[in-house]
Amino acid sequence: MTTRTIEFREALREAMSEEMREDLRVFLIGEEVAQYNGAYKVSRGMLDEFGPKRVIDTPISESGFAGMSIGAAMMGLRPIVEFMSWSFSLVAADPILNNAPKMLYMSGGQFGCPIVFRGNDGAGGQLGSTHSWCVESMFANVPGLKMAIPFTPYDAKGLLKTAIRDDDPVFFLESERLLSIEGEVPEESYTVPFGQALIRRPGTDCTIVSFGRPLYFCLEAAKTLAQEGIECEVIDGRTIKPLDIDTIVASVRKTNYCVVVDQSWSFASVGSEIASQVHQHCFDDLDNHVMRVHNDDVPAPYAYNLEQEMLPNARKICEAVRAVTYNA
């Protein structure tokens, strides 16, 4: 394939545009996605190409446009619903959690809900407590939905195309802090399958598992630890539902140690679930318990220095790896 270097936001735009050209049932809806080219310029130029019937600006009413889009999906369309922030999805919790994931089951297979909910998840940079939610631990608990968290522009495009084609509701969690990063993306159309984790850095001494933006801190920590003689294997889970536990288990059976890095709060988190499954499958292979690195158990601070301290970072990850491998 021929590749070029583009931004994360451009990769998202290409995924949506390509699928909209291929399938007239696909449309984009959300706040400022049309006239303003997207709050973060992800949908720049899409209104000009597809027109106001397929790139639709909405009022500030997440519950309203999410519910309307679920109805459209039930009738055969394939909406892409953009939340400016996943923090704002909380006011749409009833339609997106109580309707979309349950519709196929409750209708006895008569009505599916092929819909993608996407937007920025987690701390975007001094946005305060109510605009910095990490929703994965809350929403992944609900049966009937799928959840993807891309880390690179390549995965952003490939996973989003897979999400748009999927017949189930997909929660697609992006990070505002990643939108400007650049990476190589093929010019040709491609998809990245759900449920296939990727080893971002091979290693032999400890397995580090994460999703999305925290992977940058994991790779930074792995580089630091390598200088100390600790070679970490860093795994990008890519999707939480479905979770590729097999890749994680195979790595832990090789390294005998595991650290899970999750940008959610620790209690009842995705990190907790992964740790539980690793303990279940690798009990005889582990030489210590699974260590977890999470956000501190406080609301996200506004002050920059406090926000950075609250989030998972390379220092915390290094400390966790040293502790679990007895190198503290």
Residues annotated as part of the active site? 62, 131
- For residue 126, count CB atoms less than 10 angstroms from its CB and return exposed for 0-12, middle for 13-18, buried for 19 or more: middle
- Of 301, 294, 201, 187, give the one whose Cα is nearest residue 251: 201
Element (H, E) at 64: helix 62-74
Contact (CB, 8 A) for 123 and 301:
no
Q: How far, in Å, CA of 151 to CA of 156, rounded? A: 7
Q: 29: which 2 tokens?
A: 């809806």
Q: How far, in Å, CA of 79 to CA of 30, rounded? A: 10
- Of 175, 141, 132, give the one whose Cα is nearest residue 155: 175
Per this entry, what is the length of the chain? Answer: 328
Q: How far, in Å, CA of 260 to CA of 237, rounded? A: 11
Strand order in the sheet with 170-174: 55-57, 26-30, 78-83, 116-120, 170-174, 146-148, 239-241
Residue 116, φ and ψ in degrees, nearest 5: -115, 125
Q: How far, in Å, CA of 268 to CA of 22, rounded? A: 40
* Amino acid making up residue 90: L
Cα 52-56-62 angle, rounded to 5 deg = 165
Q: 191: which 2 tokens?
A: 């998809």
Residue 135, φ and ψ in degrees, nearest 5: -95, -5
Q: How far, in Å, CA of 76 to CA of 105, rounded? A: 17
